[in-house]
Amino acid sequence: MLSHQATWAIVTLALLAACQTTPADQFQPVTITGFECGDNCYLRFIRPGSEAEETALCHAPACGPWAEWQVLPPEFVGRSAQVLLGVGEQLNGDGEVMSTNFPAVLDLQF
């Protein structure tokens, strides 16, 4: 059985490889407003021209360290970014799937 770190590394590499083939026009501009973790980690953001804050699972490779630390470094709050949005699995604390189509940030670029 692989260690947690080895599994994370494999998943991260696979996501990076998949994201490298994503056309740039599928990314959307956002302003990051926050990040929080509980059973899952979520990125909060606002899209240009909107005042509504949105929340999505943060499955992007860039979210890995934030999830590990359980905090978003303060220099990222208010920062502009490009996100690739999709859906992901939302899990509860026991690892059971609560939703298979929860909004998710699949990639995040600065």
Angle at alpha carbon of residue 68, lines to 8 and 72, rounded to 5°: 130
Q: What is the pLDDT of residues 5-28, one digit of tens each?
A: 545 545 454 555 554 555 667 999
Q: CB neighbours of 25 closer than 8 A, spacing ≥ 6?
A: none
| Average pLDDT for 55-82 | 95
Q: Per the structure, how many domains does the chain have?
A: 1
Domain that holds residue 22: 4-109
The pLDDT tens digits for 57-70 are 999 999 999 999 99
Mean pLDDT confidence for 80-102? 94
Residue pair 45/37 in contact by the 8 Å Cβ criterion: no
Q: Which CATH number characterizes residue 48's domain?
A: 2.40.50
Report phi then psi at 17, rounded to 5: -65, -45
Can you tell me whether residue 34 is helix, strand or coil? strand
**Least confident range of 12-26, 39-53, 90-104:** 12-26
DSSP 8-class letter at 103: E
CA pseudo-torsion sign 9, 10, 11, 14:
positive
